[in-house]
Amino acid sequence: MKSCFFYPLSLDQVLYSWRSFLDYYLKYLLFVVTGEYVVTMKTKVFRKGIENHIDKNPNDQRAIQIAKYVKSKVLCETFGGEDQCWGDLLRSLRDKTTHQKLIKPTLVQRENQQGYSISWPTIGGQNYSELAQWEFENNAFDMLRELFPILYKFNWIAGSYKPGMFE
């Protein structure tokens, strides 16, 4: 009985956490690029804000590169593309659970190390922990790492901070 409740609850928590992160980071990007503070971030607000800024400042390469990255790797559908990127999937799943719409996972039989066959709920062929890791956590980290040099004009350096490391 415990496993029936654990999976949906852990999925909800993952979706809320990563959606909050994505909204906050989009809010931060928009503020850095435009100087405008947005109280409540929505993906459409980000899209309109960045596109309006580029229309007014067509030579702002930083804004153009950020918009291109978000459009091609984070929110493809939101920007009018045909493909679904990780941010679109995150928004879709989080919106469904928030509005109490049913997410219908596919049950996949997998054998564990002891040889027992277990039915795992999956979305897109990934169980919930794989989905959280491969779709949201890894892609969010890539977004931070790849946008870092665009935002700050110097390269990402892995590891703990050491005085003088960015000089």
Distance CA 90, CA 16 (A): 9
Supply the pTM of this predicted model.
Answer: 0.85
**109: β partners:** 119
Show pLDDT as tens, one digit a residue, over the chain (167 residues): 344 444 566 788 899 999 999 999 999 999 999 999 999 999 999 999 999 999 999 999 999 999 999 999 999 998 888 889 999 999 999 988 877 777 778 888 888 889 888 888 888 888 888 899 999 999 999 999 999 999 999 888 888 988 988 77
Kindly report the three-state secondary structure assignment for every residue of the chain.
CHHHHHHHHHHHHHHHHHHHHHHHHHHHHHHHHHCCCCCCCCHHHHHHHHHHHHHHCCCCHHHHHHHHHHHHHHCCCCCCCCCCCHHHHHHHHHHHHHCCCCCCCEEEEEECCCCCEEEEEEECCEEHHHHHHHHHHHHHHHHHHHHHHHHHCCCCCCCCCCCCCCC
Distance CA 71, CA 78 (A): 8
Q: Where are the domains of the chain?
A: 2-152
